[in-house]
Amino acid sequence: MRLSILPLIITAIASLPAIAQRPIVQTKYTADPAPMVHNDTIFLYTTHDEDDADGFHMKDWLLYTSTDMVNWTDCGAVASLDNFKWRRRDNGAWAEQVIERDGKFYMYCPLHGNGIGVLVADSPYGPFTDPIGKPLVWQQEHWNDIDPTVFIDTDGQAYMYWGNPELYYVKLNRDMISYDGDIIKLDRPDKYQEGPWFYRRGNKYYLAFASTCCPEGIGYAMSDSPTGPWTTKGYIMAPTPRSNGNHPGIIDYKGKTYVFGLNYELLRLTTDKHHERRSVGAAEMTYNDDGTIRQLPYWTDCTINQIEPFNPFRRVEGETMAWGWGLKTTPLSGHNQTLTGIDNGEYLMLKGVDFGKKGAKAISMNCASVKGGRVTVRTDSQNGPIIGTVDIASTGSMDNYKDFHAKLKKTKGLHDLYFCFEGDRNDLFNIDWWSMKK
């Protein structure tokens, strides 16, 4: 990168507006966020509440990626209960965490009522496989073995914490799929309920957790040792009737700290009745000089600054969005998904798209359709200026993908980008990917 263009990039990023935090994913119900940073990308693993869930109905674990904290790409299910042949139940894919060590990626998965299993992969996208063919931890006298969190300290020792309502830990071996010694039960930090998230900052150890059920906020404790004792310091987010549950995941990314959790905001768009259909949110988190954490308001009262402009001059997966309420995604191949459930009147929004100094002159979309339809390309709002229209003709089936092209009115600089979907019926077409040309 030439130094002469650095001021322009810094100015562009600074001009990106903060947005009130809405659920990160709208195409599915997601919960129990477990973020991980790898190769300059956020890998956000989540659990998945089925669309018909009343109580907890959870069968697989999902993955979403981002480099700017506001636009997220759906990578589909990376593992499920089917990965564990020894399981005894067809429900209970609860809060997982993924961590990398020595080029391998380890996923620690609670199977509610069947203990905690571990999967391994060569890529953060999977495929994940079961290396031991049995639970890593299972105290069969109770159902407390849920919500594992794993941390590797600076001396190389790895720890796994977990538990509801009790709190346990073990020291993992270097292979990350076994442990030596006993399971240690700790005195629970004040207000601890479940969902621990373990990390280190400087010389202090932190244990964030879902607290004070119910409703649950996000509390945290600190210690001078990775094995405690733990002293509760307060709330990262206080309990509120606006959300029955919570579950923290915390990362440092590009100079800032972010906390992820969950709420019921998407569910509230459709009903006031309570169902376990949750949605992941996020907020920037900051520290006081003494290392304690500044308390945040509720998710929708927080804002997220876009970290960097979004580049449209490349292949962009159709399932990438900042907002797309009403849309769905389904697997296409590998971790690639296709955007589906596209109905007349719906739209997809991408935040902070950088059209550059010269603007875009054309757009291509790879789509499949039986009925056909069109994509009206707008900037700044759902009813903003039209810069182009992509006509999608029938391709004969929803599995037969073809490229469609349209010219664009040149639009320069930073804009939110809206794809507005139009046609005579619902389920108009699927979108695999799109790309703009300068």
Rounded CA-CA distance 195/211 in Å is 9
Contact call for residues 353 and 312 (beta carbons, < 8 A): yes
Task: Enumerate residue ranges in the chain where pLDDT < 70.
Answer: 1-20
pLDDT value of position 11: 39
Task: Domain 316-437: state its class.
Answer: mainly beta
CATH 2.60.120.260 in the chain: give the residue spans: 316-437
pLDDT digits (tens, 9 = 90+) for 88-118: 999 999 999 999 999 999 999 999 999 999 9
The pair of three-digit structure tokens given for residue 34, joined into one six-digit string: 């477990």
Per-residue pLDDT tens for 173-215?
Answer: 999 999 999 999 999 999 999 999 999 999 999 999 999 888 9
Beta strand segments in 264-335, E: 279-285, 303-305, 316-317, 320-321, 328-333
21 near 300, Cβ under 8 Å? yes
Q: Round the average pLDDT of the chain to a whole number and report it.
A: 94
pTM to 2 decimal places: 0.95
Span 19-305: which CATH code?
A: 2.115.10.20
Q: Where in the chain is the domain with CATH 2.115.10.20?
A: 19-305
What are the tens digits of pLDDT across the range 32-52? 999 999 999 999 999 999 999
pLDDT of residue 17: 52
Strands 60-66 and 316-317 turn out to be unpaired
Residue 15: predicted pLDDT: 43
Q: Tens digits of per-residue pLDDT, 333-347?
A: 989 999 999 999 999
Q: Please give the pLDDT value at position 220.
A: 98
Interior/surface letters 59-81, b for 16+ CB within 10 angstroms, e for the rest: bbbbbbbbbbbbbbbbbbbbbbb
